[in-house]
Structure 1
Amino acid sequence: MSTRAFIDVLVLGAGPGALAIAAALGAENLRVEVLAASNHTDPWPYTYGIWGEEVDEMGLQHLLEHRWKNTVSFFGSGASEPKADANKATHHGRDYGLFDKKKLQRYWIKQCDAASVQWHRGYAAELEIDENLCTVTTAEGKKHKARLLIDATGYEPVFLKSRKNWPIAIQTCYGVVGRFNTPPVEEGQFVLMDYRCDHLSSKEKEEPPTFLYAMDLGDGRFFLEETSLGLAPPVTLETLKSRLKQRLAHRKLELTSLEHEELGLYLPMNMPLPDLQQPVLGFGGAAAMVHPASGYMVGGLLRRSPSVAKVLAKAMRDKNASPAALAEKGWAVLWPPDLRRKQALYQFGLEKLMRFEEAQLRDFFKGFFALQSDQWYGFLTNTLSLSELVQAMWTMFVKAPWSVRWGLMGMQGRELYLLWQFLKPLN
């Protein structure tokens, strides 16, 4: 059957992952359509952070709403350290940025429109795949046919199949944007992590740790967010809200004007890799592209979408290539063996951190940010090579205090399985 009458790719979704891959495919002169339950111009609910160097390398500085040079963290004092060091800042020496969500969205939509990408509204309900085409039928009964389907519908994808064989660690957050009786952070400052816990009782310190993520937005406005790194089951929104109130009260901070309340981000941190043999390709959160150690994804979308699109454009030249053959090419570049091995190491590390007590976790991050700047930066952005990642993790282990080393050496839960995936990654 000739496929010339049908489009090349149908993308499902309207979030960052869907728009990123649709724009990249359009730039390769492929015929692309996007199907989503919501409008592709609807505002995105969450904020997206990124390190300054990442956007600089891609020439996308203009997409930032805020940028900070004064980037710090606070980890409190350890058992063997003087209490005077509790408020000592760890300076990161790297710029951090916050995307202007509207600009980022328009950036991708403009590229899509320039490539004549077509937009459709509807709920994808059924999928049929034969040797030539993918046919998606919406709940409204409309059919969309394409040579390849890309599911970019987020953490609970519509058609994509994954190996869901373990509890998913969820990063949860509760935040506020507003004005305070006194500045909660220094002028022009961004706080990546504030793990100081002097506002908690001894019993509360035995509970899963949380940290403050905070920034000066200018003009007397601040964003403060209480965050759980990742846990299964997750820390509840009520607990985070209570922790933030305690933290503010301890520092005699009062919210005098509430501009916005962020009622919780539930971010899956250790999604299993999709089945890489399936004839549907995934992208974004649906394809487990969230960094298991940091929760970042947008930088990866911007870096990786062009390479996936180029491979697919080349594969599309074979007019007889089946959906399964095209998806295979896409999976090969999206999740090559080295990247799968890195993913296993990141998830191995997250397993460890989820079991760390509050003091261990603070000591761990002190050691982590004592690594060379290029090492911890590359770790958080997933830009280290496999060998560089192994070297960074080994250096961290060697230099860590014994309390952290013992925590890293004990094998529990899925850790042996993940080490095996590092040695022999799944297809």
Structure 2
Amino acid sequence: MKLKKCSDVLVMGAGPAALCIASELIEQGLNVSALASHSPEKPWPNTYGIWAEELESLGIASLLGHRWKNTVSYFGDGQNNDGNHLVTHCFDYGLFDQAAFQNELLKKCLGLEWSIETAKNIRYTDEITEVICSSGNTYRARVVIDASGHRSPFIRRSYKEDVAQQSAYGIVGRFSCPPVDKDQFVLMDFRPDHLTNEQLKEPPTFLYAMDFGEGVFFVEETSLAFSPPVSWNTLKERLLARLSSRGIKVLEVMHEEYCLFPMNLPLPDRNQALLAFGGSASMVHPASGYMVGALLRRSPSLARQLSKSLSIDPPLDSKALAKEGWRVLWSNELIQRHRLYQFGLNRLMSFDEALLRTFFATFFKLSKKDWSRFLANTLPLHELIIVMLKLFTLAPLKIKLGMIGIVKN
């Protein structure tokens, strides 16, 4: 066994969350070490979407690989001639250039040595935290941040059996005819005309799709949230049936995407000496499934607080340092907002396909300022409550009944 030199902060993980917080800690001039089961240079497997305005506010819109002005959704039943309840969002949406985003964060982490190891156990002494790896090596730090994802076995939380997960199956490829209009992004296409009567009784799914240009499109069948999650096989079958009903055949599969992550994971125990960030800290937005915007917005304040706390004399121990981090990462306001969003998600999961379509058609009747900040989780608590009351006021009776738990399908 080899005992490694003690650092200020040890970051566990190599994905967007780990790189975001590591880069901000380095910016604060802290002595940072990193531990991951694979190289941080390994390409990220999934695509990351975001409303372009979120990145513009952070000054990094150049990291978008694609950007669409023609952003729409469909909430009709696909059977009538009313445009199938086409909703135009008039709000730019983008996909990160994953390589550029990853490389930008790696540049900010220049000089940081990554130990490619598998953590086996974590031990807390009087002042520091030790991470023991399967190799026998032990890494020490005054505080450890687990940014290795929601599957981390080290973060304590009160689990419940019905954690809902968002699942999705997607294809980047070429098709016999365009699955969406030229230069178009479809946030949600809930039209169910390709489903059988039995399938209409099953958990609802929708199409998320976009034109990449030059005859290449990305189409993805998505389940907003369900427990147990809708399987990838079911999503693939539904995607192909949706395309087939429109006379579209898949000619070439360039990439397949599989997504599965929890939407209403309970918040971590904020009294533990191990700090978390990203999925392991339950930072996935329960209303949308997005997290990258939150990583970029919340990592600087966490890094600043840890830098301040690490300079206190006499030195704080790991538990006290982690407590300072948890206090910033999950303030009372953020906790209350998270609970409101989780309440809303739990109500939506009780809605059938027709009711869910009606809900989203109503939701996008809110002002763009309201619905966009709702989905980005940037509304202060008092404004979030006001927006939720506006939505309740706008909603037809069947949605109101569904929101208060009296579902009338």
TM-score normalised by structure 1 residue count: 0.92
Whether the 8 Å contact between 1:124 and 1:158 is mirrored in structure 2 is no
Identity of aligned residues (%): 48
For 2:223 and 2:134, the matched residues in 1 are separated by 37
Of 95, 98, 103, the residue aligned with 1:101 is 98
Query: 1:365 matched to which residue of 2?
Result: 360
Counterpart in the other structure of 1:26: 26
2:294 corresponds to which residue? 300
Within-5 A mapping of 1:13-162: 13-77=13-77, 83-113=80-110, 116-162=111-157
**Cα distance in 2 for residues equivalent to 1:166 and 1:308:** 31
SS at match of 1:310: helix
Supply the RMSD in Å over aligned alpha carbons. 1.4
Question: 311-320 or 189-198, which moves further after superposition?
Answer: 311-320
Which residue in 2 is equivalent to 1:333? 328
Alpha-carbon contact 1:274-1:287 (below 8 Å) kept = yes
After superposition, give the CA deviation of every residue in 1:156-177 in whole Å (9 maximum; x if it has no partner). Answer: 1142111112421011111111
Name the CA distance, whole Å, in 2 between partners of 1:28 and 1:163.
33
Give SS of 2:82's match: helix
Give the whole-Å Cα distance in 2 for the aligned partners of 1:244 and 1:160: 36
* Equivalent residue number for residue 267 of structure 2: 273
Deviation at 1:333, TM superposition (A): 0.5
How far does the alpha carbon of each residue in 1:66-114 deviate from its partner, in whole angstroms, 9 at most, with x for none? 0000000000159xxx92125342011110010011111111111011x
- For 1:282, the equivalent position in structure 2 comes to 276
Contact 1:77 1:85 in 2 (8 A): no
- Confirm whether residue 180 of structure 1 aligns to residue 178 of structure 2: no
Is residue 213–residue 226 contact of structure 1 (8 Å, CA) maintained in 2? yes
> Quick check: 2:77–2:192 contact (8 Å CA) kept in 1?
no
CA distance in 2, matches of 1:88, 1:74: 6
Give the alignment partner of residue 382 of structure 1, picking from 374, 377, 383. 377
* Per-residue CA distance 1:273-329 (angstroms, 9 max, x = gap): 000010110000000000011000000000100000001000010251111111011
Does the 8 Å contact 1:74/1:90 carry over to 2?
A: yes
Q: Distance in 2 between matches of 1:160 and 1:192?
A: 33
Q: Could you tell me whether the CA contact under 8 Å between 1:31 and 1:117 is conserved in 2?
A: no
Contact 1:77 1:86 in 2 (8 A): no
Retained in 2: the 8 A contact 1:15–1:40?
A: yes
Amino acid at match of 1:55: L
2:77–2:193 Cα contact (<8 Å) kept: no
> Unaligned stretches of 5+ in structure 2?
none
State yes or no: 1:165 paired with 2:123. Answer: no
Q: In structure 2, how many angstroms separate the alpha carbons of the residues matched to 1:134 and 1:274?
A: 18
* Residue 211 (structure 1) aligns with: 206
The residue type equivalent to 1:157 in the other structure is S
Give a deviation string over 1:375-425, Cα, whole Å, max 9, x none. 11011000001011111111111110111111111179xxxxxxxxxxxxx
Name the SS of the counterpart of 1:85 in structure 2: coil
The amino acid across from 2:97 in the alignment is D
Counterparts of 1:362 and 1:411, CA distance in 2: 17
The correspondence for 2:307, drawn from 313, 317, 321, is 313
Paired residue for 2:11? 11
Cα deviation for residue 118 of structure 1 reads 2.0
Moved more, 317-326 or 369-378: 317-326
In structure 2, how many angstroms separate the alpha carbons of the residues matched to 1:91 and 1:65?
Answer: 22
Which letter does structure 2 place at the counterpart of 1:87?
N
Distance in 2 (CA, whole Å) between partners of 1:345 and 1:411 is 18
Provide the TM-score with structure 2 as the length reference.
0.96
After TM superposition, which residue ranges in structure 1, 4 or more long, deviate above 6 angstroms?
A: none
Which runs of 5 or more structure 1 residues have no equivalent in the other structure?
413-427
8 Å contact 2:6–2:139 — kept in the other structure? no
Name the CA distance, whole Å, in 1 between partners of 2:235 and 2:7.
47
